[in-house]
Amino acid sequence: MHNDNRPCVLLAAGGTGGHLFPAYALAEELGRRDYLVDLATDMRGDRYGTGFPARKVHQIPSATLASKSPVGIARTVWTLCRGVGTAVRLLGEIRPSVVIGFGGYPTFPPLLAAKLRGITTALHEQNAVLGRANRMLAARVDAVATSFERVKFLDGTLTEKARFTGNPVRDVVIKCATRPYWIPDATETVQLLVFGGSQGARFFSDTLPPALELLPRDLKTRLKVVQQAREEDLERVREAYNISGIRAEVAPFFANLPEIMANSQLVVARAGASTIAELTVLGRPSILVPLPHALDNDQLQNASQLAESGGAWCIEQGELSPERLARDLQRLMSTPSLLLEAAKAARAQGRPDAVARLADLVGELAG
């Protein structure tokens, strides 16, 4: 039990960037509004070195249904039951006014425990598709906040609980968004940023260097590439750019990614929810290559909605040969007005106020 008489909010988020970043943004805003914030997450903890802005981070046992075998299912159910037991005890100690889940299986135990204890609950869905864990929980919570106006599988009676807030971005993104988009003149450097989501993208390491090698010499000399690559791919990617005579900074992780995005003329990336939210708040044009074989094709839905608005170009991985990418990049770099139009369209889709809207919803639920 906390002696502090400020209201407490428990955020529950899985250990991936897509779930943690919006939770982080909400924690920053709730802190400004004088709430106590705790975070419940699974054992992956804080892999992003974010220093999550919570009073305390609680690790709660959780599991994803990875195997369909009876033993695998039994193990998952047992772990989730342990998690619910842990979460019920935790809620008794911290007495939150409301529990907000950000998706992924680690949100299961805290939200089910909150239901058992009669505590108000809400979900936040980052994608244009209601995720599997959120789909199972949606009927049991008091509200569902959405990042997109249209969300697949959020239908029937669930629409009555839906509240469109947008996907919250961290303060650092809002700060970088003050930098206007600009097109360098014909002699200046064009910065291309390439990153593949939290897991890093082998596909981009295989495809980008040979694609850029095909560009005309005058474009290659103007280009600066900033690319995220896995440790095991670093050397070969650096070497490939070196041979092509292209300036490149290749690293496994960039702590200041929003700043690099703001300084880039074009971004090539996966289409995770946080990536889309940050690109639109920053107003930066992108070529989006959705993660293939995703369970619900959530990234394809995310990318398609942004592409429909004119703010991005969506190319499925199976269709993206180095030759095609080289043609597209040459066309965009040679016709800067296309990039400028896409930057404007992306910014028009941005929701810099998403975190305030979500915090308002939390305030209503906390009463």
Confirm if 240 and 194 have CB atoms less than 8 A apart: no
Q: In terms of domains, do 99 and 247 share one? A: no
Tell the residue number behind the tokens 């490939």, with chain if given.
240
Phi then psi dihedrals of residue 291, to 5 deg: -60, 120
Q: Same domain, yes or no, for 257 and 158?
A: no
What is the average pLDDT across 241-252? 96
Q: What is the tally of structural domains in the chain? A: 2
Residue 48 has pLDDT above 60, yes or no: no
Residue 140 covered by a domain? yes
pLDDT at 47 over 90: no
Q: In which residue are the tokens 């864990």 written?
A: 133
Regarding whether 241 and 137 lie in a shared domain, the answer is no
Residue 157, in any domain of the structure: yes
Give pLDDT, residue 187. Answer: 86
User: Which domain covers residue 108, as residue numbers?
Assistant: 8-169+352-366
Average pLDDT for 205-213: 96
For residue 3, tell me if it sits in a domain: no
Check pLDDT > 80 for residue 118. Answer: yes
Q: Is 183 in the same domain as 329?
A: yes
Tell me, yes or no, whether 300 and 245 share the same domain: yes
- Same domain for 154 and 247, yes or no, is no
The answer as to whether 129 is a domain residue is yes
In a domain, 59, yes or no: yes
Contacts of residue 267, defined as CB under 8 A and 6 or more positions apart, other chains included, come to 192, 193, 194, 195, 261, 279, 284, 285, 286, 287
- Is residue 2 a part of any domain in this protein? no
Residue 287 falls inside a structural domain: yes
Does one domain contain both 245 and 361?
no
| CA neighbours closer than 13 Å in the CB half-sphere of residue 281 | 27
Do 224 and 111 sit in the same domain of this protein? no
Task: Give per-residue pLDDT as tens, 255-271.
Answer: 899 999 999 999 999 99
Indicate which CATH number applies to the domain containing 60: 3.40.50.2000
Residues 275 and 344 in one domain: yes
If asked whether residues 189 and 326 sit together in one domain, one would say yes
pTM score: 0.89
Predicted confidence band at 50 (pLDDT cuts at 50, 70, 90)? Answer: low
Residue type at position 203: F
Q: Do the domain assignments include residue 316?
A: yes
Please check whether residues 80 and 179 belong to one and the same domain. Answer: no
Whether residues 267 and 303 share a domain: the answer is yes
